[in-house]
Chain A
Amino acid sequence: MKFGIIVFPGSNCDADCLHVMKNVMKQESEYIWHQESDLSAYDAIILPGGFSYGDYLRTGAIARFSPIMSAVVDYARQGGLVIGICNGFQILLEVGLLPGAMLRNRSLKFICDTVNLKVRQANTPFSNKLEEGQIIQVPIAHGEGNYYCDEKTLQELNDNKQIIFTYCGPEGEESLEYNPNGSLANIAGICNEKGNVLGMMPHPERCSEAVLGGTDGYKIFASMLNYLEEVGR
């Protein structure tokens, strides 16, 4: 399979994603500069973390106008797999592929840590190698991961089973105490209605190798591969 990793000015997890896809997942992978406009060669697209355009004005706000983003929107509408991690998630919100918006962390501080996530849906292209209710450990690192949407949207997210990952405690408690940033309903990751676009604040690429202290992230990328192999693009 061939993965494309989009590079905006200010992306800084692009190399990490490339490393994991290439050297750990052993897939053909390459960078796509934000001024490109053709995604036809790729089986899946990754929007990596970082500070595109310095995150000035609002996170993801300027990046969404990069030429590549209209291609990403088309790609997603045609059912292509798109995963946005951290800043990638923020960009997906701004461009409207996912509903809602990001606010600053409740603490107003950037926070770097490893958190527990509950897998809320396992039959998605991104979580089929995980089990529903399973608790995984994934690093976070962000200043604006406080997910917000209006009530109606939240209802829809619930009804359509679009909430994929939530922050939780070691026993799966989904309380405020285990919510690192104040996000609505402890949301850590959501997908679109069709299920082919995922946005998540935690960084699976930071826990895909044992030397980094955990491999739960590996399973998210393995799910994507599995899906692509089974269903095709």
Chain B
Amino acid sequence: MKELTYKEMGLLDEEYQKIIEIMGREPNYLELGMFSVMWSEHCGYKNSRPLLKNFPTEGSQVIQGPGENAGVVDIGDGQALVFKIESHNHPSAIEPYQGAATGVGGIVRDIFTMGARPIALLNSLRFAELDDARVRELFSGVVAGIAGYGNCLGIPAVGGEVYFNPAYKGNPLVNAMCVGLVNTDEIALAVANEIDSPIMIVGAKTGRDGIHGATFASEELSESSQSKRPSVQVGDPFMEKLLIEACLQLIKEDLVAGMQDLGAAGLTSSIAETASKKGLGVEVDVLQVPRREQGMTPYEVMLSESQERMLIVPRTGKEERIKEIFDKWGLDAVVIGRVSGDGMFKVYEGEELVGAVPVMELTEGCPVYVRQGQKAEYYQRCRAFDINSLPEEKPEPALRKLLASPNIASKRWVFSQYDYQVMTNTAIVPGDGDAAVLRIKDTSKGVAMTTDCNSRFVYLDPYLGGVLTVCEAARNLACVGARPLALTNCLNFGSPEKPDIYWQMEQAIKGMADAARELDTPVVSGNVSLYNETVEGAIYPTPVVGMAGLLKDIDYRCDMAFKDEGDLIVLLGELRDQLGGSEYLYVCHGIQSGAVPPVDIKNEKSLVEMLLSLNADGLCKSCHDISDGGLAVCLAESAIKGGRGFTVDFDFENKRTDGVLFSEAPERAVISINADKLKKVQELANSKGLQTQVLGQVGGKDLLFKNCGQEIIRMSLADAGQIWEEAIESLMK
């Protein structure tokens, strides 16, 4: 392998100087490699750490906030949820199937490393538009990769989102989230706390794959990314499945003091993180590391990102039992070194010391950059865009176009490739509700989860977009009857070195933090993916939120399907007509602009509480929040799902018709109820200071919209269903 310079490894001049200061000499090639991966954005968070400080991370429900492999949230009865979301954008851009597959593998390891049994997968995907053959290839490769890996593991993929926008041309986003269930007394952490305890590596053998993957993830995609292709890895989900079972057995038998997955930056990072928690040191012998290839150098062994490996620090005297368990599953478990007291990370090749670096400098020593953001040039212009200068598109063709937009149409093409029912817990399956719901066996509880981000909103107004993203996630959980507990996030942005991008980051994070604080959904874990740019520019800022919630009683879950003829359709919240940043503007007018609808977080919180009360009392027969496509799409989806039409007839007041139908303004949801429950619903709304309005009734075979008795849309249910169900399918043929 050709030797890289420190610049090629992604280090700046001043960073290299700092390394020399730390070492008191020039680092050798191995030491330099170790610094460069640990000080990459991906591992060191050097551009984002100061911003992340804004997030609220505490709450009575939080057992473990950021800083471990995943966050942990209490769900009662001595049980907890463990969850995190992570990006695998760049590998997926180069090799969609394996990139996405190994992304799933990585996030799953973060969860069972904590001692939790993974119980659900979600994902959040962004691509350019499907009229481009290369995009279709990426899209189908990514979906197949997620399916191929997750299905084999037997972890249901129960939710997620997919968006298509030219902003992701050349730089798709693939974010994967995993949720695990753990008994609170069995949570495992990644710490080495005893001097002299052995360090073991288990799972797959180490090959030359993925060297400098962490650095690669921290750069813009360019022509030369092509030549870094060998850094793409092939996943082995079968191996990972065996690892899950074996590692969870270790936890059950209380055999480990610390457990850590090998992810980005491989052995270097996992060993450094494990040792640095208690300020200890470590000695490893690379010759002990089982290898897949011959002639590997210490540098290659220490930096390899081969998948499906784990690091284990056994409890004293437990190595033999640990080996037995791994042997049962046909896996190797090998001692490769020991914990030391001197704070140094020493790498040996047999007897020979080939590198020595102070552990703390690798982890805590990473330089941090506080940059100066600058409001993006487009911001004022887009805010000032006058929507009233646009003609109104006829309502019915507009609704047809929206239902056919891949951003709104059914995502069955995607989720039917995922096994979403394995583990026999899935009580609301993908597509049926605003969030996925899983029962927790042996209890009456359920948990719900969702991922959300309207990146067009975030682009047009990063602060508001950040607020709206968190609000939408919380609202989605409340719609299915779950109290939002906490969130994880994946911050996908362009290059932080550009002031307008840094401004997007600052503002979006501030918005998310404000909403998370108000809604009492602290941030418990997350991941940052920067440099999502190509020569054509940066992606839309995409801070994806994954949120989890709790249903006290699984029997009171609620999906979005209309149920019975004659049920009343009720709008919770107000009629609004702000169209800024809406899918309608894009699909019907080709415009991505306008002022993002404002949001009152307090009011959103009231809506969440209202939805929770309604569902807890079993008052809603269906519930669906208003988001992409607005009120009209919200109603259409409930009708299609339920196989029942509706008639709504209400006063559009003086608002634009397209505004009322297609505004994506927040703080709103549509429920259907038994007619005799109306009074109770209204009383409840009054007590929460929320408006309600009866829009109409479920029934018939048409979607019928009227404004003060005057018909404005009549579309047959069959028609609407077909357009919505087949849109993506037919583009992918």
**Which A residues lie at the B interface, using CB under 8 A?**
9-10, 12-13, 15-16, 19-20, 23, 49-51, 53-56, 109-113, 139, 141, 143, 203, 205-206, 209, 211-213
Contact = CB atoms under 8 A, between A and B. Distances in A.
Nearest to B412: A113
B606 interface: no
Contact of B236 (A54, A111, A141): A54
Contact of A56 (B238, B242, B329, B418): B238
A55 B415 contact: no
Contacts of B624: none
Contacts of A15: 423
Interface stretch (B148-156, B530-538, B573-581, B706-714): B148-156
Nearest to B437: A211
A23 B442 CA distance: 9
Given A53-B238, A112-B417, A16 B424 contact: yes
Contacts of A143: 151
Nearest to A20: B424
A55 B152 contact: yes
B238 A51 contact: yes
Given A9-B329, A203-B421, 16 more contacts: A9-B238, A9-B242, A10-B152, A13-B154, A53-B238, A54-B152, A54-B236, A54-B237, A110-B151, A111-B417, A139-B421, A206-B421, A206-B422, A209-B424, A212-B424, A213-B427
A15 to B, nearest CB: 7
Contacts of B151: 51, 110, 141, 143
Contacts of A212: 421, 424, 426-427
B503 interface: no
Contacts of A51: 151-152, 154, 237-238, 241
A146 B143 CA distance: 21
Given A10-B152, A212-B421, A112 B238 contact: no
Nearest to B423: A16
B147 interface: yes
A113 B242 CA distance: 27
B419 interface: yes
A110 B424 contact: no
A16 B427 contact: no
Nearest to A108: B144
A19 B424 contact: yes
Name the residue among A12, A15, A54, A141 with the largest chain B CB count within 10 angstroms.
A12
B439 interface: yes
Contacts of A55: 152
A58 B329 CA distance: 21
Contacts of B427: 211-213
B238 A110 contact: no
A56 B238 CA distance: 9
B154 A50 contact: yes
8 contacts: A51-B237, A54-B236, A54-B238, A109-B416, A141-B419, A206-B422, A206-B424, A212-B427
Interface in B425-439: 426-427, 429, 439
Contact of B241 (A10, A13, A141): A10
Contact of A110 (B237, B242, B417): B417
Contacts of B153: 12
B420 interface: yes
Given A9-B330, A12-B153, A212-B426, A112 B242 contact: no
Contact of A112 (B421, B423, B554): B421
Interface string B228-250: 00000000111101100000000
A201 to B, nearest CB: 13
B441 interface: yes
B152 A211 contact: no
A112 B152 contact: no
A204 to B, nearest CB: 11
Nearest to B420: A112
Given A9-B329, A111-B417, A112-B419, A205 B238 contact: no
Nearest to A24: B424
A212 B419 CA distance: 14
A10 B152 CA distance: 8
A139 B151 CA distance: 15
Nearest to B555: A211
Contacts of A56: 238
A56 B269 CA distance: 31
A138 to B, nearest CB: 11
B127 to A, nearest CB: 18
A136 to B, nearest CB: 16
Nearest to B439: A211
B439 A112 contact: no
A178 B404 CA distance: 24
Contacts of B238: 9-10, 51, 53-54, 56
Contacts of B416: 109, 111-113
Contacts of A109: 144, 416-417
A80 B75 CA distance: 44
A13 B683 CA distance: 47
Closest 7 CB pairs of A and B: A12-B154, A54-B238, A51-B152, A141-B419, A16-B424, A110-B417, A206-B421
A113 to B, nearest CB: 6
A110 B152 CA distance: 11
Interface hub of B238, B329, B424, B439 (most chain A Cβ within 10 A): B424
Interface in B323-341: 329-330
B554 A211 contact: yes
A153 B239 CA distance: 37
A12 B420 contact: no
Nearest to B240: A54
B421 A110 contact: no
A216 B473 CA distance: 34
A191 to B, nearest CB: 24
A143 B417 CA distance: 9
A53 B421 CA distance: 21
B563 to A, nearest CB: 14
A50 to B, nearest CB: 6
B154 A141 contact: no
A165 B570 CA distance: 44
Interface in B647-702: none
A123 to B, nearest CB: 29
